[in-house]
């Protein structure tokens, strides 16, 4: 258990940040699922629009530190390839 005031403060801060970061990751996943569902339906226009909306969300996740830049780049590359194949 935390003994010092600073350690107690860090526990509180870590809980708050974990909640915020979890919400950010959830939001990113929602955008990615929209792209996936558009690809599955075979609707190219909808997939391109969803991909266009997902790209800044992934970049924002990288900027905020919730995603590694290579992870975001890999996801964008794979999704872009699948949308282009439609």
CATH 3.30.1330.60 assigned to domain 5-84? The reply is: no
**Whether residue 2 has pLDDT greater than 80:** no
Q: Where are the domains of the chain?
A: 5-84
Full-model pTM: 0.86
Residue 63 to residues 4, 35, 40, 66, 69, Cα–Cα distance (Å): 32, 21, 29, 8, 9
**Whether residue 71 has pLDDT greater than 90:** yes
Other beta carbons within 10 Å of 35? 25
Mean of the pLDDT values across residues 11-15? 96
CB 49 within 8 A of CB 26: no
Q: How many residues does the chain have?
A: 86
How far is Cα 24 from Cα 57, in angstroms, rounded to an integer? 9
């Amino acid at each position: 258990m935390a003994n010092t005031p600073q350690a107690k403060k860090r526990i509180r801060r870590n809980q708050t940040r974990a909640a915020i970061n979890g919400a950010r990751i959830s939001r990113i996943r929602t955008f990615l699922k929209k792209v996936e569902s558009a690809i599955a339906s075979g609707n190219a226009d909808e997939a391109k629009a969803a991909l266009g909306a997902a790209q800044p969300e992934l970049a924002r996740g990288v900027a905020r530190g919730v995603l590694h830049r290579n992870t975001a780049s890999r996801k964008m590359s794979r999704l872009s390839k699948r949308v282009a194949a439609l």
